[in-house]
Amino acid sequence: MDNRQNQVNINWYPGHMAKTKKEISEMINLIDIIYEVVDSRMPLSSKIVDIDELIKNKPRIIIFTKYDLCDEKETDKFVSYYESLGFKVICCDLINNKNVINKILLESNAILKDMNAKRIAKGMKPRSIRALVIGVPNVGKSTLINRLVGRKAANIGDKPGVTKTLSWIRINKDIELLDSPGILWPKIENQKHAYNLASLSSIKEEIVDNEALSIHILKTMYDLYPERLKERYGIENIDLDDIVPTLDIIATKRGALLKGGEKDYDKVYSIIIRDLKDGLLGKITFDRIDEINHSSV
Ligand SMILES: Nc1nc2c(ncn2[C@@H]2O[C@H](COP(=O)(O)OP(=O)(O)O)[C@@H](O)[C@H]2O)c(=O)[nH]1
Ligand SMILES: [Mg+2]
């Protein structure tokens, strides 16, 4: 077993995405406000890299979902950063926090007022605002739509792009929402971001194997939250050039053994991946704000 992480190159941009992007940019003129959904545990890795170019200057609210699962101290640095650029940012636990929808509607109303003031100044009638939810897979778009709509909205598909026949759901007298989200896959130039996405979303299987993924998780945890590895697995140090002893510790501790006492590494990989996903490694944020200086966000 070797360190394959550096050898497995994730190329994560399905061919149909160029078409999807075109579809979204064509219908963007119908939209007054964008709800851009980002995962609080990876505000950079889960962000659509070229969203500015795609949606131009449309009013946008950035919604940081899964805030309940993140390391608030680190994620808040991203919130401040985007606020400093003039964006509205709302952090939320979409599963448990009932208040978040009111917050989103309140911010949307401010944008609506602005829009209608301009329309009236031009001699046009005021009208309701049209909203689109957009984001990469698994960040919580469907959950957000369901929460906004207040029931399980029909036909919320996970197909990329937007449906051909646009169908609007009225949320209140002022706001209509497109019933399916704009789904964009990240065009990932940064392999670390690719691995973060694979670690924290459910779309990893076809992209990268469990070995590479769990090694990424161990290395990242060791770098950012070493004390959690100690708490959970009793691991004090990791030799980054030889991860096998670390895997052996986990195998022994968690009884991942084959008949005859051989270590069951496949089981170890599954344990690591599941522990992270189930929050057993604590609240984590895998991106760091200082990366922004080195990337084109
Ligand atoms: N803990 C937590 N889970 C969330 C939150 N938002 C969404 N999820 C979960 O994340 C997963 C993906 O959500 P989904 O809405 O299907 O994402 P989509 O692919 O962007 O439509 C689901 O299991 C949701 O229950 C949140 O704020 N907190
Ligand atoms: Mg969905």
Is the per-residue pLDDT at 296 higher than 50?
no
Confidence of residue 18 (pLDDT cuts 50, 70, 90): confident
Within 10 angstroms of residue 214's Cβ, the number of other Cβ atoms is: 26
Angstrom distance (rounded) from CA 156 to CA 159: 9
C-alpha distances in angstroms, 266 versus 150, 166, 205, 206, 275?
42, 45, 14, 17, 14
Predicted pLDDT of residue 4: 43
From ligand 2's centre to the CA of 226, what distance in Å?
A: 33
> Is residue 155 within 8 Å of 180, Cβ to Cβ?
yes
Mean pLDDT in residue range 18-29 = 80
Between CA 72 and CA 285 the distance in angstroms is: 8
The pLDDT value recorded for residue 11 is: 63
Spacing, Cα 166 to ligand 1 middle (Å) = 23
Handedness of CA 221, 82, 194, 293 (dihedral sign): negative
pLDDT in tens, 151-179: 655 444 444 455 556 788 899 999 999 88
In our burial notation (b when 16+ CB lie closer than 10 A, e otherwise), range 140-160 reads bbbbbbebbbeeebeebeeeb
* Residue 66 Cβ contacting ligand 1 at under 6 Å: yes
Pick the CATH number of 190-294 from 3.40.50.10860, 1.10.760.10, 1.10.1580.10, 3.30.565.10: 1.10.1580.10
Residue 38 scores a pLDDT above 50: yes
Cβ neighbours of 49 (radius 10 Å): 19
Highest mean pLDDT among 3-12, 60-69, 129-138, 189-198: 60-69
Please answer whether residues 243 and 220 qualify as being in contact, where contact means their C-beta atoms are separated by less than 8 angstroms.
Answer: no
**How many Å apart are CA 105 and CA 206, to the nearest integer?**
37
Which atom of ligand 1 sits closest to the CA of residue 146?
15
Question: Using an 8 Å Cβ cutoff, are 245 and 218 in contact?
Answer: no
The average pLDDT across 9-15 equals 63
Helix (H) / strand (E) containing 19: helix 17-27
Atom of ligand 1 nearest to the CA of 145: 15
pLDDT at 294 over 80: no
- Buried-state track 165-200, b at ≥16 Cβ within 10 A, e below 16: eeeebebeebbbbbbbbbbbbbebebbebbbbbbbb
Q: Where are the alpha helices (DSSP H) in 91-157?
A: 100-121, 141-149
Assess if CATH 3.40.50.300 describes domain 17-183: yes
* Predicted confidence (pLDDT) per residue in 240-271, tens digit: 899 999 999 999 999 999 988 899 999 999 99
- Per-domain residue ranges of the chain: 17-183, 190-294
Domain 17-183 identical in fold to domain 190-294:
no
Q: State the chain's mean pLDDT as an integer.
A: 86
Residue of 91, 94, 100, 284 with the most ligand 1 atoms within 8 Å of its CB, for mutation: 94
Question: Does the Cβ of 186 fall within 6 Å of ligand 1?
Answer: no
Whether the predicted pLDDT of 5 surpasses 50: no
At 150, the pLDDT band (50, 70, 90 cuts) reads: confident
